Structure 1
Amino acid sequence: MPTLHWQKSSYSSEGNNCLELATTPDGTLCFRESDDPAITLTLTPSGLHSLLAASRREIPNGS
């Protein structure tokens, strides 16, 4: 895997609790949490779209 250029939101503080994003040459998106950079989540753009769509859905209250 090529060396990735990790970016974080300009809204992030200087601390280690940020989500960072990098894009590979083939367009794959890589995410990591700045306080544990060894663990990454790799998604295609359509996979990210599905993840965001699922996170926006209302989750019924199970109680």
Structure 2
Amino acid sequence: MPARAWRKSSYSAQGSNCVYVAAPTSEDIKIRDSDEPDVILTAAPATLDVFIRAAKAGRFDHPTTARPPRRPPRRRRSVWPTTPQSRPSPRSSSTSPAPTG
């Protein structure tokens, strides 16, 4: 891409940490950093618009605390009564023994 196609952001300082933007076609926008000019990000205008709006709204300010805290897992209620005497033993069979004789 020719050097004149890249525009420097007006928010960039005169030194390093400059951001350059180019729009060679209407389908994509290219972004690069002055520290790594060989790395070029490409995005559709609509995608970049969503990203910029989210950044301005502060959605990326604190990524580790942006999510709501996880709830602890729900405890399942036991099907059996809480007293050990009323629980059937695991060895007992639910069917009655076959009659003999």
TM-score by length of 2: 0.48
Q: Which has the higher contact order (CA 8 A, sep 6+)?
A: 1
Larger deviation, residues 50-59 vs 34-43? 50-59
> Is 1:53 paired with 2:63?
no
- Structure 2, unaligned runs of 5 or more: 61-65, 70-101
- Quick one: structure 1 residues 44 and 53, their matched pair in 2 at CA, closer, same or farther if it must change by over 3 Å? same
More strand by share: 1
Percentage of identical aligned residues: 33
Q: Tell me which stretches of 4 or more aligned residues in structure 1 moved more than 4 Å.
A: none
CA RMSD of aligned residues (A): 2.4
TM-score by length of 1: 0.70
Structure whose alpha-carbon radius of gyration is higher? 2
Q: Which residue of structure 2 lines up, in the alignment, with residue 6 of structure 1?
A: 6
